[in-house]
Amino acid sequence: MALTTAEILKKVRELEIKSKKLTRHIFTGEYHSAFKGRGMLFKEVREYQHGDDIRFIDWNVSARFNHPFSKLFEEERELSVMLLVDVSGSSFFGTTLNRKKDLITEIAAVLAFSAISNNDKVGVLFFSDTVEKFIPAKKGRDHVLYIVRELLTAKPKHTGTKLGEALRRFNNSTRQKSITFILSDFLDESFNDALKVAGKKHDVIGIKIYDKMDVDLPAIGLMEAKDLETGETVMVDTNDFVTRREYHQDFFKHTEWCKNVFVQSGSDLLHIRTDEDYVKVLQKFFIGRNR
């Protein structure tokens, strides 16, 4: 059921308050130090001093003046954060208080507000089996509030998932290195090559959102199951032990495949269940990055 304008505004405000509270009290300094300093900008050239890294000697200038000179760099203060958000049919699945889409929206809002609180730019790419919407990275509260409204009201035209397509569009449209969060259940196996390309250029973090029923089927007898992405409907005997075991094994087989794809691309992958505390997972990740 579509939200009214008043309900949307209320939810936007609730997410802003919650996100700011988390950023201020929990992620203070952790987001900043996890990502700052990963880009360095050239500042100037000065005469070589004892202790300077010889890798940064400017040989052209040194030859011209017949004396060693070093390049100085400074931390790149401004970053771009890009959120690649899965809005395919499976994101609307959920058996607890949250659908995958609800959790993706909240985490994306927290990351967006964390970015602007550190004076970074933030943008979003919504994808299904095509790029549904692209919002270029900008700064400012108004921009983030616009992003949150779009997260809440996204109505995809397609139901399938093609992350590879989204990554290719992202790779071609973004020249500047970005901190890139991919929020999805990753029910797709066509993105490994595109992720390798993105991983070489950007700092990529996947956040795999899953429901407890993605892992295990409850033994409740004969059940009609509908694939939210293809629309296909099948009858499943959930009392059958072999069926439940194969379902369970398929989930972990795909999870292991995802993990390997991210490792091979030099990227990180987090796992968050719809009924778990995502704050602890993010906080642990940020702290781990600082070590």
Q: How far apart are the C-alpha atoms of 167 and 181, rounded to whole Å?
A: 11
Alpha-carbon separation of residue 29 from 26, 34, 38, 155, 206 (angstroms): 9, 8, 15, 35, 21
Tell how far CA 152 is from the center of its chain.
17
Q: How far apart are the C-alpha atoms of 22 and 16, rounded to whole Å?
A: 10
Q: How far apart are the C-alpha atoms of 152 and 157, rounded to whole Å?
A: 15
Backbone CA torsion sign across 239, 241, 243, 249: positive
pLDDT digits (tens, 9 = 90+) for 223-234: 898 888 888 999
Task: Report yes or no: 181 and 120 within 8 Å, Cβ to Cβ.
Answer: no
pLDDT of residue 157: 92
Q: What is the dihedral of CA 96, 100, 103, 107, to 10 degrees?
A: 160
pLDDT of residue 118: 81
Which of 136, 92, 94, 145 is CA-nearest to residue 116?
145
Compute the C-alpha angle 210/215/220, nearest 5°: 120
Task: Report yes or no: 125 and 166 within 8 Å, Cβ to Cβ.
Answer: yes
pLDDT of residue 109: 93
Task: Give the residue carrying structure tokens 């087989």.
Answer: 253
What contacts 256, CB < 8 A, 6 or more positions away?
A: none
pLDDT of residue 186: 97
Q: How far apart are the C-alpha atoms of 127 and 75, rounded to whole Å?
A: 33
Map out the domains of the chain as residue ranges.
5-33+77-289, 40-75
Task: Give the residue carrying structure tokens 């609800």.
Answer: 102
Q: Which CATH superfamily is domain 5-33+77-289 in?
A: von Willebrand factor, type A domain (3.40.50.410)
Structure tokens at 51: 């202790």
The parts of the chain modelled with pLDDT lower than 50 are 37
pLDDT of residue 179: 92
pLDDT of residue 198: 96
How large is the greatest C-alpha to C-alpha distance in the chain, in angstroms? 84
pLDDT of residue 176: 82
